[in-house]
Homo-oligomer: A and B are copies of this chain.
Amino acid sequence: MSDAGGVPSPVQEMLDELHTRVRDVDAGEVATYIPALGKADPALFGLALATQDGHVYTAGDADTGFTIQSVSKPFVYALALHDRGLNAVLRRVGVEPTGEGFDALRLEAGTGRPLNPMVNAGAVVTASLVDGDDHGQRFQRIIDGLSAFAGRELRLDHEVLASEERTGDHNRALGYLLRNAGALRGDVNEAVGVYFRQCSIVVTARDLAVMAVTLAAGGVNPVTGRRVVGADTCEHVLAVMATSGTYDFAGEWLLRTGLPAKSGVSGGLVAALPSQLGIGVYSPPLDRRGTSVRAIAACQELSARFGLHLMRPAQRTTPVLHRLLRGDAVSSHRTRRHLEREALRRDGRAILACELQGDLGFTGADTAIRAITDELDGVRWLVLDLHRVNRMEPVAVNLLDGFAARLRGRGVATVVAADAGSGPLAAAEASFASLDEALEHCEDALVAAGRSARLDPDAAVPPEEQDILRDLPAEMLDALTPLLEERRLARGQVLFDPGAAPDEGAASDETLYFVVSGGLVAQVMAGDPPEPVRIASMGPGTAVTKLVLGDDRIAYRVVADEPTVARVLTAAAVKRLEDTHPQIVEALHWAMARHLAARLRQADARNQAMIGSDARRGD
């Protein structure tokens, strides 16, 4: 037997393997200029990877605490952008790479701004920009905000803080230079003090991965489900991390890993891939530019093995247009009478259904529109089926809506089939939950457009025009007609529900319902709690049967879709017919077999047309 439940995760195994390999990298030096950091064990190595759905993989010392140091900078920058807005923050702190180290003293000529928020000078100013009336409130905002990014309450390491404060003269000097240049306002010691405390917050590699994935996910922490900052802010922070996150190593870092990142002097590092994942690493030994040696090795390997480079060109991509279906070859699940079927076969090419798939951003929508435009000759109804679309950007809604509006101006109606919640198109004529209902809508419109008196959907269909009966000899029809009992159904009234109370005995198997006017729908119950889902519909001139056969495993409910008149052949009437006109019963059996065969063929026609259009995907 299988023991599939406990199957190990291939990602976990790959991460473990990578951790084992990188653990042996034995280079770099633990930073000592903050004496408390110098005590860190150089062998420590924690690795964590958090996914956008909130799963966290870890390897090694991923739950070992350390002070966050400079890795705090992008998150505090995010809080400042959130609290002040991009332009207000840009006026105080630039976003240009310095080409220099973390302690660069250079300020922008003319404005006195620090060059970016990832160097210490920029970080001190950034910390002064978060909400708060005084430095105490601002630090509270910072530790609360970082806790929200991490999804747990973070705390200070007072020993490291005391050490930072004792040895922080370089940062104090920066503070005075900033105030001298007009870049920093208020008390320098208080401003630098907030920055010291920010750097002394204790995190783990696991925390950093969650913080990073919160940026990657557009500002909602996927573990807690809580929004921390807005999506625009994340875009901006990640862009600054890409150009300046690892100081004078930022260019080569981005070239080699393709991941926006931020390193810190205690050996921590965050990296993020937008819409995908966050990585947190902790390993104290640093290279000469201040980045953790094992973090560089781990991220380069992760990027290469997992294909995480931001600039990587996509692999094979399927066409955005999954299938094109035309109304003369594919029809809805509506069972239609003979005359309607003929009209659809003749004119159905005026209905074009396009199944789109994949990501619909600018490129997807643009490609789809160009491909559809090439197929529009003679089309009057365009169905856009969005069920296979995985992602729908606002620009795609915008472009498709513009397309629908332009089509409307040329006499082409657009009908959308999409899950609830997919952005509806304002210029569409109608929107349905399924492709089937959308097709049915277009077919109805096509039949109505070419309608003759005999096809008037509101007129009653007499027995001799019923599909099942129309080949019956006149004398049989005359004998049968008086046995048909009229039944009037209100909209929503259930005609039968074999699933609810199974009929017994052969007699009831043979009950037939002829639709005279109105229409019926067949439904199955699905979902939890179960709700009726429409799977087919039947118009005037068609029949539905209540056959209960051998290995029943499924049953329709049949419900009136609108005020409906049906004629019913009851079990008792069939009994009578068997005595008086056995040949009519045989003819009915035969006709039902034909009818079922035709329905099967209809289902298979869909198959074939779909297979056919699948085949053209090779283009």
Q: Which A residues lie at the B interface, using CB under 8 A?
A: 1-11, 13-14, 51-53, 55, 90, 94-100, 106, 115-116, 216-219, 231, 234-236, 238-240, 242-244, 248-252, 254-255, 258, 260, 274-277, 305-318, 338, 341, 345, 350, 357-359, 361-363, 366-367, 369-370, 373, 376-380, 382, 388-395, 398-399, 402-403, 406-407, 410-412, 421-422, 524, 526-528, 531, 533, 535, 547, 549-554, 556, 586, 589-590, 592-594, 596-601, 603-605, 607-608, 611-612, 614-616
A312 and chain B: residue at smallest CB distance: B235
- Distance (whole angstroms) from the CB of A250 to the closest CB of chain B: 6
The reply to whether A4 and B600 contact each other, CB–CB distance below 8 Å, is: no
Q: Pick the contact of A608 from B219, B406, B524, B586 — CB < 8 Å?
A: B524
Given contacts A2-B380, A252-B95, contact A535 B235 (CB under 8 A): no
Question: How many angstroms from the CA of A96 to the CA of B248 in the assembled complex?
Answer: 6
Q: Pick the contact of A358 from B350, B367, B390 — CB < 8 Å?
A: B390
The reply to whether A594 and B550 contact each other, CB–CB distance below 8 Å, is: yes
The reply to whether B242 and A10 contact each other, CB–CB distance below 8 Å, is: no
What are 17 of the A-B contact pairs (CB < 8 Å)? Answer: A1-B380, A7-B410, A10-B402, A10-B406, A14-B399, A116-B251, A231-B313, A235-B309, A238-B311, A274-B310, A275-B313, A307-B395, A308-B362, A317-B390, A526-B608, A535-B604, A589-B593
The reply to whether A254 and B249 contact each other, CB–CB distance below 8 Å, is: no
The reply to whether A315 and B391 contact each other, CB–CB distance below 8 Å, is: yes
The reply to whether A11 and B366 contact each other, CB–CB distance below 8 Å, is: yes
The reply to whether B601 and A603 contact each other, CB–CB distance below 8 Å, is: no
Chain B contacts for A311, CB-based, 8 A? 234-236, 238-239, 242, 260, 274
The reply to whether A313 and B274 contact each other, CB–CB distance below 8 Å, is: yes
The reply to whether A96 and B250 contact each other, CB–CB distance below 8 Å, is: yes
Q: Pick the contact of A388 from B2, B260, B388, B527 — CB < 8 Å?
A: B388
The reply to whether A3 and B391 contact each other, CB–CB distance below 8 Å, is: no
Chain B contacts for A380, CB-based, 8 A? 1-2
Chain B contacts for A305, CB-based, 8 A? 395, 398
The reply to whether B412 and A276 contact each other, CB–CB distance below 8 Å, is: no
Q: Pick the contact of A373 from B9, B216, B358, B598 — CB < 8 Å?
A: B9
The reply to whether A2 and B390 contact each other, CB–CB distance below 8 Å, is: no
Given contacts A96-B251, A608-B526, contact A391 B316 (CB under 8 A): yes
Question: How many angstroms from the CA of A605 to the CA of B589 in the assembled complex?
Answer: 24
Q: Pick the contact of A393 from B11, B315, B406 — CB < 8 Å?
A: B315
The reply to whether B345 and A307 contact each other, CB–CB distance below 8 Å, is: no
Question: How many angstroms from the CA of A392 to the CA of B358 in the assembled complex?
Answer: 12
A379 and chain B: residue at smallest CB distance: B4
- Distance (whole angstroms) from the CB of A545 to the closest CB of chain B: 8
- Copies of this chain held together in the complex: 2
The reply to whether A310 and B313 contact each other, CB–CB distance below 8 Å, is: no
The reply to whether A97 and B276 contact each other, CB–CB distance below 8 Å, is: no
A4 and chain B: residue at smallest CB distance: B376
Q: Pick the contact of A275 from B314, B592, B598 — CB < 8 Å?
A: B314
Question: How many angstroms from the CA of A412 to the CA of B1 in the assembled complex?
Answer: 8
Question: How many angstroms from the CA of A586 to the CA of B96 in the assembled complex?
Answer: 88
Question: How many angstroms from the CA of A216 to the CA of B362 in the assembled complex?
Answer: 15
Chain B contacts for A586, CB-based, 8 A? 586, 589
Given contacts A311-B239, A391-B318, A601-B553, contact A53 B367 (CB under 8 A): yes
The reply to whether A412 and B317 contact each other, CB–CB distance below 8 Å, is: no
The 9 closest A-B pairs by CB, nearest first: A218-B313, A4-B376, A10-B402, A527-B615, A97-B97, A358-B390, A95-B251, A275-B314, A238-B311
Question: How many angstroms from the CA of A485 to the CA of B581 in the assembled complex?
Answer: 34
The reply to whether A4 and B307 contact each other, CB–CB distance below 8 Å, is: no
The reply to whether B10 and A369 contact each other, CB–CB distance below 8 Å, is: yes
The reply to whether A236 and B251 contact each other, CB–CB distance below 8 Å, is: no
Q: Pick the contact of A2 from B376, B524, B589 — CB < 8 Å?
A: B376
Question: How many angstroms from the CA of A217 to the CA of B311 in the assembled complex?
Answer: 10
Question: How many angstroms from the CA of A359 to the CA of B391 in the assembled complex?
Answer: 10
Q: Pick the contact of A596 from B90, B249, B528, B600 — CB < 8 Å?
A: B600
Q: Pick the contact of A345 from B1, B362, B395, B553 — CB < 8 Å?
A: B553
Question: How many angstroms from the CA of A550 to the CA of B382 in the assembled complex?
Answer: 30
Q: Pick the contact of A99 from B5, B100, B306 — CB < 8 Å?
A: B100
Question: How many angstroms from the CA of A240 to the CA of B252 in the assembled complex?
Answer: 8
Q: Pick the contact of A367 from B51, B366, B379, B612 — CB < 8 Å?
A: B51
A607 and chain B: residue at smallest CB distance: B535
- Distance (whole angstroms) from the CB of A307 to the closest CB of chain B: 4
The reply to whether B217 and A313 contact each other, CB–CB distance below 8 Å, is: yes
- Distance (whole angstroms) from the CB of A149 to the closest CB of chain B: 15
Question: How many angstroms from the CA of A106 to the CA of B98 in the assembled complex?
Answer: 13
Chain B contacts for A551, CB-based, 8 A? 338, 341, 598
Q: Pick the contact of A251 from B216, B240, B274, B276 — CB < 8 Å?
A: B240
A309 and chain B: residue at smallest CB distance: B235
Beyond A216-B313, A306-B395, list 20 extra A-B contacts (CB 8 Å): A95-B251, A95-B252, A97-B98, A99-B106, A218-B314, A219-B313, A235-B312, A236-B255, A274-B314, A305-B398, A307-B361, A307-B394, A315-B391, A318-B389, A358-B358, A524-B611, A533-B611, A550-B594, A553-B605, A586-B586
Pick from A3, A218, A239, A382 the residue with the most CB of B within 10 Å: A239
- Distance (whole angstroms) from the CB of A527 to the closest CB of chain B: 3
Chain B contacts for A314, CB-based, 8 A? 218, 274-275, 391
A276 and chain B: residue at smallest CB distance: B363
- Distance (whole angstroms) from the CB of A314 to the closest CB of chain B: 4
A399 and chain B: residue at smallest CB distance: B10
